[in-house]
Amino acid sequence: MTQSKQYILALDQGTTSSRAILFNQSGQPVGMAQKDFKQYFPQSGWVEHYPTEIWTSQSSVILELIAETEISPKQIAGMGITNQRETTILWDRETGKPLYNAIVWQDRRTSVYCNELKSKGLGEKIKAKTGLVIDAYFSATKIKWILDHVEGAREKARQGKVCFGTVDSWLVWKLTKGETHITDITNASRTMLFNIHEREWDKELLSLFDIPESILPEVKSSSEVYCKTAGDVLSVKIPIAGIAGDQQAALFGQLCTESGMAKTTYGTGCFLVMNTGEKPVDSQNQLLTTIAWEIKGKVKYALEGSVFIGGAAIQWLRDGLKIIHNAKESEFLAQKVDDNGGIYFVPALTGLGAPYWDQDARGAFFGITRGTTQAHFARAALEAIAFQVYDVLHAMEKDAGGKTTEMRVDGGASANNFLMQFQSDLVRSDIRRPKITETTALGAAFLAGLAVGYWESEATLQQLWEEDACFRPEKTPEEVAEKLHFWHKAVERSKSWEES
């Protein structure tokens, strides 16, 4: 069968939905199916998923996609998987049944334990090994919680009867009917148990968290033929050949394959990831050092920073203040005025993330006068998103010791041309938006396609990236410096508002 009649299947298992997308050799999506699944909040700060619902939603969209596109499963050359990172599942090795619900990356139940670890001075040791800060966000403390709180779990684990996995591992286990227990190096690097320098599970950290090594999956590269599906979901056995956590997959889907290239996903929050090449960069600015991917034995590293409130600021204008009816209206309003009218908005609605890390900061508008209108509020909210991204990118550039060569963007808010132009003005570099914005799923497809020979090389992939729009700096450095001065003045005044 010619490759033009074959396709790559990408599974995109996210926090609120599971998706399946078929890509052709031009990197174009030819069909997609999506299904939401339930979120569970058993206590304040707890977030859980039912692992079987993750699996059934994912398997059902595969079947739906095949039915809708009328493509034969025999035409699928390979399968790639990308997933919500850090979410933790433990299951019985013999029965395949989960020991407990999946504890989601957003879950904060282990925060007190994390603070205990920090008070013992373990932060630097863990950061030196894993590139991560101690936080309930990552998998290690979630695993420990399940072993400590689920009756019989720890004893079963010591007997070698338990499997741990992030969502990628769980999907591969289910797709192979329990034959394969693996993860890829990007997901492993987000567990707080993986030494990103030695590229192996860290025995000292396993001892610290009292986690038996026997429960851990085998760590593989991000692009290789790991195994084949069992053939029960689809009628044929399909090679599973690419795995990466969602932000790393998006970085690869954006083809940021050279050091200094960065991507920002503008969603509810904003996720910035910069390729730093073949050596990890130790952040001095509270960013995360992580593994971008491993292909053919070569590991690329990345710096990552998160903005808590990105597109959520626009949602708040719509649902909280009710000054807009939909997100698109924010761009129209922002362009009705010549400038922000001296209004600066610090969207610290849930505290400030990187590089400030102030959980006691709170949101505030500064500079309000009698002449302030709803258009000024809308413009200030959009500018605030760009200011926050600037701060994280500036921290990244300081860590990396060089200027970003370009930034590629995706996510819902990247469709806002006013925001993208203002972002380009602030960061003083080109902002490039691709025609295909399904970059997370596309990254998983690219990784799988390389492994099965569907695409010849990374150079071949570079030819597939198509630009929808490029935004270039228009404001003078002096104009930008003035805006940044008032932005940072506003940030300082919003800090430590709560007295915890």
Residue-wise pLDDT for 192-229, tens only, equals 999 999 999 999 999 999 999 999 999 999 999 999 99
Q: What is the pLDDT of residue 485?
A: 96
Q: Are residues 322 and 213 in the same domain?
A: no
Q: Are residues 475 and 427 in the same domain?
A: yes
CA dihedral 462, 465, 471, 473 (to 10 degrees): -10
Of 493, 218, 215, 183, nearest in space to 361 by CA: 493
338 located within any domain: yes
Q: What is the pLDDT of residue 325?
A: 86
> 395 with 354: CB under 8 angstroms?
yes
* Last residue within a domain, chosen from 210, 237, 264: 237
Across the chain, mean pLDDT equals 90
Whether the pLDDT of residue 500 is over 70: the answer is: no
CATH code of residue 427: 3.30.420.40
Whether the pLDDT of residue 402 is over 80: the answer is: no
32 located within any domain: yes
Q: Are residues 276 and 226 in the same domain?
A: no
What does the pLDDT average to over 166-183? 95
The first and second tokens of residue 32, run together, are 């997609």
Q: Are residues 211 and 286 in the same domain?
A: no
Q: What is the pLDDT of residue 411?
A: 82
> 278 with 196: CB under 8 angstroms?
no
* Last residue within a domain, chosen from 184, 207, 237: 237
Q: What is the pLDDT of residue 212?
A: 95
96 located within any domain: yes
Q: Tens digit of pLDDT for each residue in 69-101?
A: 989 889 999 999 999 889 999 999 999 999 999
* Band of pLDDT at residue 3, cut at 50, 70 and 90: low
Q: Are residues 135 and 169 in the same domain?
A: yes
* DSSP run (H or E) holding 57: helix 51-69
Q: Tens digit of pLDDT for each residue in 253-267?
A: 999 998 888 899 887
Distance CA 152, CA 4 (A): 52
Q: What is the pLDDT of residue 23?
A: 95
Q: Are residues 213 and 69 in the same domain?
A: yes
327 located within any domain: yes
Q: What is the pLDDT of residue 175?
A: 94
What does the pLDDT average to over 291-314? 89
Segment among 324-333, 368-377, 438-447 with least mean pLDDT? 324-333
**One-letter amino acid for residue 151 of the chain:** E
> 244 with 390: CB under 8 angstroms?
no
Q: What is the pLDDT of residue 483?
A: 94
Q: What DSSP character marks residue 201?
A: E
Q: Are residues 282 and 402 in the same domain?
A: yes
Whether the pLDDT of residue 480 is over 80: the answer is: yes
394 located within any domain: yes
Q: Tens digit of pLDDT for each residue in 424-438?
A: 999 998 999 998 878
Structural domains in the chain (count): 2
Distance CA 307, CA 385 (A): 8
Distance CA 272, CA 76 (A): 32
457 located within any domain: no
* Last residue within a domain, chosen from 188, 206, 237: 237
Q: What is the pLDDT of residue 8?
A: 96
Q: What is the pLDDT of residue 1?
A: 47
Q: Are residues 423 and 345 in the same domain?
A: yes
Its domain, for residue 17, covers 3-237
Distance of CA 29 to the CA centre of its chain: 21
Peptide bond between residue 347 and the one before it cis (omega within 30 degrees of 0): no
Of the chain, the percentage scoring pLDDT greater than 70 comes to 99
Q: Are residues 109 and 183 in the same domain?
A: yes
Q: Are residues 276 and 352 in the same domain?
A: yes
248 located within any domain: no
Q: Are residues 83 and 196 in the same domain?
A: yes
Q: Are residues 215 and 291 in the same domain?
A: no
155 located within any domain: yes
Distance CA 307, CA 353 (A): 6
Q: Tens digit of pLDDT for each residue in 131-159?
A: 998 888 899 999 999 999 999 999 999 99
